Amino acid sequence: MRKIRFLLSGLLVFAMLSGLLAACGKQPAGDGGAQNAPASEKVLTISSTNDIGTLNPHQYNSEMFAQDFVYENLLKYGKDGKIEPCLAETWEISPDGKVYTFHLRKGVKFSDGSDFNAEIVKKNYDAVLKARDQHSWLELVNQMDRTEAVDGSTFKIYFKNPYYPALQELTLIRPMRILGAAGFLEDGDTSKDIKAPIGTGPWVLSEHKKGEYATFIRNDNYWGEKPRLSKVIVKVIPDGETAAAALEKGEIDMIYGSGVISIDTFRELSKSGRFTTLTSDPMTTRVIGINSNRGAAKDLSVRMALQYAVDKDSIVENILYGTEKRADTLFAENFPYCKLGLEARGYDAEKAGKLLEDAGWKLQPGKDYREKDGKALELDLCFIAADSVDRSIAEAIQADCKKVGIKVNLVGEEEDSFYQRQKNGDFGMIFGESWGAPYDPHSLVSSFREPSHFDYQAQLGLPMKKAIDETIGKVLISTDESSRQKMYDYILRTLHEQGVYLPISYRTNMAVFRKNVTGVTFATTNEIPLVNVDINQQ
């Protein structure tokens, strides 16, 4: 009996201990959404799938929207690709296109009160240039030769070659945004770490509990239009369904972004009538790369047949519930240099069948799939197994292709194995996505030359691949508008005519928010612009 009592009391102590631990874990600060904030404060609570990260502006291990909250660059990407002033007010480009002079905005202060000037811009850019290899994906960094702080408010960049997209890339969220002097470690090496996230942006990080939440307060030193909100709380919620439940409960005020919640959940929330829902203009293109270097898809007629065999309208309507628009070209026409009037290929199973028939892919009696020289017409379609939307689209494509006698084998895999296929070209067809503004079209086009991209792999079988790559090299250093447009025309038209891409839809950003939130807008893919957002505290 004694021992039983001993055991039971042990268990009791255990239970009490866990209760005590739970009570100790109580965390009043930063917890709770807008509902328990003081009346004078305007607090917006949003969700993020991942923790915001280290907020190192020169590194890639943070959430981009959070980096955009805190840091700014010399320029800003405006509507339809217009380049707008930010930390630089005006700029000039030398006639040979190799020297850019920026006249910086005066009177700008960092969130710690220190002054913004050409010296600190140089310190930042030089820190990035020191880790060139790491940033080699970005042509801007490859092309930059050196920088110069001429005086307090004049800053010059010297390029190795004239590189026209430099202005676009100076708007990027990373890796070139400006960290305050006090944010650097003693050795100035930001490729390792930073001391503190000090920027000139509209928000300042005030509290960060890793994996739980981060609190940003308004930057009172901000030079631009001051945010209406006084505070933004970002709660880490990995699961979309949980985020939706948290929104319904009032623990968060807004869900923002692409792919954060499933399309089904988005539809449910918008149908409930309790929230406002918005979708943005085309951000990126959901596209399928067709491998011109492997199997049956080496044949141009097979690639073209695929373009007509897939019923994209039905995919948009039945799988995407109309939240995305049907895509006919790799880049939407609202991107720079992309208004080319390329042929929009709609669903036409008959035409697809005829194309195959003419190319010698015959349907033998009693068989479901076409054959040529004893070889069956079959292709692998690779996607990430956990992505339910891609999976549904893949199934729709498989069914459509069967109707015209093409056998599509679905290969759904875990994320890294999938990316591995993108990189080594081990696919017949594979899901991909364009990069969105401000990268499209120039950065994506530039990456066509990188063997580790599925674009490169898919294009490898084209007889004119070499000419395409050479033109890409030229277009990026072109200085003349009209010849640049001509070169883009050649590159994009050739790829379109060769049927290397099967564009499905233009992806959009989505926002779902409580009715008392106003002023929600969309910018580029990875930004959450909150400057105009207001909340009516109930």
Partner 1 sequence: MRAYIIKRLISLVPVVFGITILTFILIHMVPVDPAHAYMTATNTPPTERAVAAVRAEFGLDRPLPEQYFTWLGKALRLDLGKSYVSQEPVLEELKHSFPSTLLLTLAAVGWLILLALPLGFLSAVFKDSIVDHLSRAFTFVAASAPPFWLGFLLIELFALKLGLLPVMGKGSWQHLILPSLTLALNYAASYTRLLRSGILENLKQPFILYARARGLKQKLVIGKHALKNALLPVVNAFGMSFGYMLAGSVIVENIFAWPGLGRLITESIFNRDYPMIQGYVALMAVVFVLSNLLADIASAIIDPRIRIGDDRVGV
| Neighbour-count burial for 149-170, b at 16+ CB within 10 Å, e otherwise | beeebebbbebeebbbbbbbbb
Give phi and psi for 34, each to the nearest 5: -65, -25
**Which CB sits closer to partner 1, 136 or 318?**
136
| Positions in 440-469 near partner 1 (CB under 8 A) | 443, 447, 450-453
Q: What's the closest the beta carbon of residue 324 comes to partner 1, in angstroms? A: 21
Of 38, 39, 107, 133, the residue at the interface with partner 1 (CB under 8 A) is: 133
| Binding status of residue 245 toward partner 1 by CB under 8 A | yes
Nearest to 518 by CA among 533, 507, 504: 533
Q: What's the closest the beta carbon of residue 185 comes to partner 1, in angstroms? A: 13
Question: 3-state DSSP call for residue 375?
Answer: strand
| Binding status of residue 15 toward partner 1 by CB under 8 A | yes
Of 210, 274, 298, 474, the residue at the interface with partner 1 (CB under 8 A) is: 210
**Which CB sits closer to partner 1, 66 or 246?**
246
Of 152, 238, 259, 360, the residue at the interface with partner 1 (CB under 8 A) is: 238
Nearest to 122 by CA among 157, 87, 89, 93: 157
Residue 238: asked if its preceding bond is cis (omega within 30°), the reply is no
Q: What's the closest the beta carbon of residue 179 comes to partner 1, in angstroms? A: 16
d(CA 80, CA 64): 20
CB 204 within 8 A of CB 70: yes
| Binding status of residue 246 toward partner 1 by CB under 8 A | yes
| Binding status of residue 213 toward partner 1 by CB under 8 A | yes
**Which CB sits closer to partner 1, 102 or 431?**
431
Stretch that binds partner 1, among 159-167, 211-219, 280-288, 293-301 (CB under 8 A): 211-219
Give phi and psi for 445, each to the nearest 5: -60, -40
Identify the residue whose tokens are 């084998």: 409
Stretch that binds partner 1, among 72-80, 81-89, 110-118, 239-247 (CB under 8 A): 239-247
**Angle made by CA atoms 303, 307, 312, in degrees to the nearest 5:** 150
Of 9, 13, 14, 35, the residue at the interface with partner 1 (CB under 8 A) is: 14
Secondary structure of 2-15 in HEC code, one letter for each residue: HHHHHHHHHHHHHH
| Binding status of residue 158 toward partner 1 by CB under 8 A | no
**Which CB sits closer to partner 1, 209 or 339?**
209
Q: What's the closest the beta carbon of residue 292 comes to partner 1, in angstroms? A: 21
d(CA 330, CA 435): 11
Q: In Å, what is the CA distance from 126 to each residue of 121, 147, 194, 263, 443?
A: 8, 7, 15, 43, 22
**Which CB sits closer to partner 1, 165 or 227?**
165
| Binding status of residue 419 toward partner 1 by CB under 8 A | yes
Stretch that binds partner 1, among 163-171, 208-216, 338-346, 365-373 (CB under 8 A): 208-216
Of 9, 35, 94, 136, the residue at the interface with partner 1 (CB under 8 A) is: 136
**Which CB sits closer to partner 1, 7 or 399?**
7
Stretch that binds partner 1, among 108-116, 132-140, 144-152, 498-506 (CB under 8 A): 132-140
Q: What's the closest the beta carbon of residue 156 comes to partner 1, in angstroms? A: 26
CB 151 within 8 A of CB 125: no
| Binding status of residue 3 toward partner 1 by CB under 8 A | yes
CB atoms within 10 A of CB 104: 23
| Positions in 173-202 near partner 1 (CB under 8 A) | 192-193
d(CA 446, CA 166): 13
**Which CB sits closer to partner 1, 308 or 454?**
454
**Which CB sits closer to partner 1, 134 or 206?**
134
**Which CB sits closer to partner 1, 308 or 439?**
439
| Positions in 22-81 near partner 1 (CB under 8 A) | 22-23, 25-28, 31-32, 53-54, 59-61, 64
d(CA 421, CA 385): 14
Q: What's the closest the beta carbon of residue 238 comes to partner 1, in angstroms? A: 5
| Binding status of residue 248 toward partner 1 by CB under 8 A | yes
* Type of residue at 231: K
| Binding status of residue 1 toward partner 1 by CB under 8 A | yes
221 exposure class (CB count in 10 Å sphere: 0-12, 13-18, 19+): middle
Residue 198 has which token pair? 């000090």
Of 105, 218, 235, 286, the residue at the interface with partner 1 (CB under 8 A) is: 235
d(CA 117, CA 181): 10
| Binding status of residue 130 toward partner 1 by CB under 8 A | no
**Angle made by CA atoms 492, 288, 382, in degrees to the nearest 5:** 150
**Which CB sits closer to partner 1, 369 or 419?**
419
Instruction: Give residue 336's Cα distance to chain centre.
Output: 18
**Which CB sits closer to partner 1, 149 or 476?**
476
DSSP characters over 505-537? EEE--EEEEETTEE-----STT----TT-EE--
Q: Kindly determine how many residues on this chain lie close enough to bind partner 1 according to the rule CB under 8 A.
A: 64
d(CA 85, CA 42): 29
Which residues form the interface with partner 1 (CB under 8 A)?
1, 3-4, 6-7, 11, 14-15, 17-19, 21-23, 25-28, 31-32, 53-54, 59-61, 64, 133-137, 192-193, 209-213, 235-239, 241-242, 245-246, 248-249, 251, 414-417, 419-420, 423, 435, 443, 447, 450-453
